[in-house]
Structure 1
Amino acid sequence: MRVSVLFLLFVAQMVAANQEIKLSLSSQLDGGHSFYHELLYESLTDLGYKVSISSPSEHIPQKRVVKMVESGALTLTWLLPTPERDERFVVVPVPLTNGMIGKRILLIPPQLQSQFDAVNSLDELQRSGLVAGLGINWFDVAVWKTNQLPVYLADGEWRSLYRLISTDGKVNYFPRGLNEIVSEAELNPHLAIEQRLMLQYDRDFYFYLSPQAKEYQPIIERALRKAKSSGLLDKIITKHWGRTFQVVDPAKRVVIRLTTPNAKSQNN
């Protein structure tokens, strides 16, 4: 029996070796895409596929990315799951960052640290009046509103929020995923990583495929599940974000848990 199983695995690898998967993916000037590109390339290559990845532009704003995936101009993107996205696109139901994206660290003006020092609970954050900046179509908008936290919504390029964060303006803080915070702080030296808090909700990124690329769904799902079981996913996470745990030290932070609307299991 064991010989038969090994033979079938060998045959599957040989078949995959003769197939090429061509992916058209978005890229960003700040390198926010690099982990997802590498995860796809390495996990699919590990199954024996020949993989080629191209990007139609050096930088594509997220709002345009979603439209390009819908039209088939891009093969897929990575998004937090919502029922609307599950219906609109083809989801690959494997969480991608070990929940890092749902562990939110705040980018703030350094002068506001003393105000955040007084926050130790959701109730205190609500009463502080401090306003979060978020992208207009982000899942986080529903999370912040569910938890009765004030938000400012940026339409178009969400990176414009970096310039709007101030002590007394429209935006006082920008919640970023644990996997995003360090690199973005380094790119925006006028801002600081808030020192004490972590706002946490149970969500993770999924890959969402264009309907035109739905045939890749079972292949990518199999590749990602193997990457999780083999340790490849953890290896790539450590490569990209290992330093983050030293800089941010999430284990020592005050955790404020946020309620999520339309709760969906992430136990895949």
Structure 2
Amino acid sequence: MIFKLRCICFSACALFISASTVSAPAPASSVAPLELRIAVVSDGRADYFVRLLEESLKLIQQPYHIQYVKDIPARRMWWMLGRGDINLFYGMQSKEKDNDKQLVPVRNALTNGLIGQRVLLVRRSDTNAFLQVQSVADLKHTGLIAGFGAGWGDVKVWKTSGLPLYEHAAPWNTIYAMVTAGNRHVDYLPRGVIEVLAEARAHPELAVEQHLLLEYPADFGFYLSPSAASYRPIIERALKAAEASGLKARLIDETYGADIKALNLNRRLRLRLPAAPD
């Protein structure tokens, strides 16, 4: 864990939430610090995004205070962001979010497109079926059904490609057991190359499919609440500095490099899917 937790209460939403506060010291110029309240989950998935933000702000000597609000369901986090109960959250970029007046998009692709490179979590008994796939049409003809959370941007990509899919409205973590069961309307989970092996380690009953790499334009981005809109140019400048200095590439490699190498992406058959329609 990268945070020490304590309990606080936001009166605006009447929820008890776990949080911690991190600060960067102000430089001699006494630049006003960014006052950030960021939604994250405590299972480690947010670690790269948190570190990228903090290290980028330090790089441009921008002081900050960050309060981490932890383990609120994703849909509620977006609602809290629109209300200003939190003022920064990260999630998949989309035209819908970018055009939402309750959200302020920070223009930077946080994983350099890696989240749009998808490897499949499958039942071990189905691995041979995927080995026979040589095209998107072949994948469609298998009749195997991809699983996604309800409302995910990937859903539009699969629909545009004509691939069978299932949208799971219940808590996301129950879908792994549904794939394993084999009788619950979902056969495989397309997961980003930066997350699939961590999930496979957490769910050893499933296998990482070894043949395919599905690609489409997608990435995570930071989103601010309207009350923090003035922070956007500062954060964008910090992230650009992280790219120019090599900091971002180094953090990606440190966080995900070993897992990406283990996936042998260059040996996989690449199937390109269209971007989600606007």
Q: TM-score, normalised by structure 1?
A: 0.88
Structure 2 residues without counterparts, runs of 5 or longer: 1-25
Match of 1:197 in 2: 212
Q: Does 1:93 align with 2:107?
A: yes
Per-residue Cα deviation, 1:152-195 (whole angstroms, up to 9, x for no partner): 11125322211211334311111111111111111111111111
Alignment of 1:151-230 (within 5 A): 151-166=165-180, 167-230=182-245
- In the TM superposition, residue 255 of structure 1 has moved relative to its aligned partner by 0.6
- Aligned identity (percent) is 36
Match of 1:65 in 2: 77
Q: Does 1:83 align with 2:95?
A: yes
Which region of structure 1 is more displaced relative to structure 2, 78-87 or 142-151?
78-87
Tell me which protein shows more helix as a share of its residues. 1
1:53 to 62, 66, 87: 66
Distance, in Å, in 1 between the alignment partners of 2:140 and 2:98 is 31
Whether contact under 8 Å (1:26, 1:33) holds in the other structure is: no
Whether contact under 8 Å (1:90, 1:209) holds in the other structure is: yes
Tell me which protein shows more strand as a share of its residues. 2
Match of 1:31 in 2: 44
- In the TM superposition, residue 240 of structure 1 has moved relative to its aligned partner by 0.6
Structure 1 residues without counterparts, runs of 5 or longer: 1-12, 264-268
What is the aligned residue count?
250
Distance, in Å, in 2 between the alignment partners of 1:236 and 1:260 is 26
Match of 1:109 in 2: 123
Alignment CA distance shift 1:119-1:78 (3 Å): same
Distance, in Å, in 2 between the alignment partners of 1:14 and 1:104 is 42
What amino acid is the match of 1:66? W
What amino acid is the match of 1:213? A
- In the TM superposition, residue 56 of structure 1 has moved relative to its aligned partner by 2.5
Distance, in Å, in 2 between the alignment partners of 1:228 and 1:16 is 25
Distance, in Å, in 2 between the alignment partners of 1:61 and 1:151 is 23
Match of 1:7 in 2: none
Per-residue Cα deviation, 1:176-216 (whole angstroms, up to 9, x for no partner): 11111111111111111111111100121111111121111
Which region of structure 1 is more displaced relative to structure 2, 158-167 or 176-185?
158-167
Distance, in Å, in 2 between the alignment partners of 1:248 and 1:261 is 25
- In the TM superposition, residue 16 of structure 1 has moved relative to its aligned partner by 6.4
